């Protein structure tokens, strides 16, 4: 089972970051964290790595509902969205499929909520 939603998009890597951020905002998500993996790899272990960013996206009202259902669900938050540029220049955006990860918890109400989050993330990715 695929654990992510993804597609390649046209444009530059930096343009993709802006488009993803705006798409997430339109679906009620904010960016809680922004990890520049290539910069971190260079600084921490001296390795050159392709442009790769991890955006930690959160929809506060949906996160509140999830935390109200399962107090440990915070270990699976926020919803990560990556933007990476492959060696051939292609820019890919991928988002976690929360419905897949939440199935393991065994809470039908949480699975239903995760399906709603997945639909929002699918709209973001498909709208790029």
Report d(CA 63, CA 104) in Å as an integer: 18
| Angle (CA) 14 51 11, round 5° | 35
pLDDT beyond 90 at 1 = no
Strands of 30-36's sheet in order across: 4-9, 91-96, 79-85, 52-58, 30-36
Task: Specify the pLDDT at position 121.
Answer: 98
Task: Specify the pLDDT at position 114.
Answer: 96
Domains and CATH numbers, the chain: 4-126 (3.30.310.70)
Q: Tens digits of per-residue pLDDT, 6-64?
A: 999 999 999 999 999 999 999 999 999 999 999 999 999 999 999 999 999 999 999 99
Q: pTM for the whole thing?
A: 0.94
């Amino acid at each position: 089972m695929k654990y992510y939603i993804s597609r390649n998009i046209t444009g530059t890597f930096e343009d993709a970051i802006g488009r993803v951020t705006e798409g997430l905002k339109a679906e009620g998500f904010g960016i809680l964290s922004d990890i520049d993996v290539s910069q971190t790899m260079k600084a921490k272990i001296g390795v050159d790595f392709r442009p790769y960013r991890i955006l930690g996206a959160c929809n506060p009202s949906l996160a509140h509902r999830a935390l109200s259902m399962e107090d440990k669900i915070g270990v699976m938050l926020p919803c990560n969205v990556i933007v990476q540029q492959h060696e051939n220049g292609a820019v890919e955006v991928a988002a976690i499929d929360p419905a897949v990860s939440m199935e393991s918890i065994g809470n039908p109400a949480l699975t239903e909520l995760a399906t709603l989050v997945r639909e929002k993330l699918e709209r973001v990715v498909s709208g790029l």
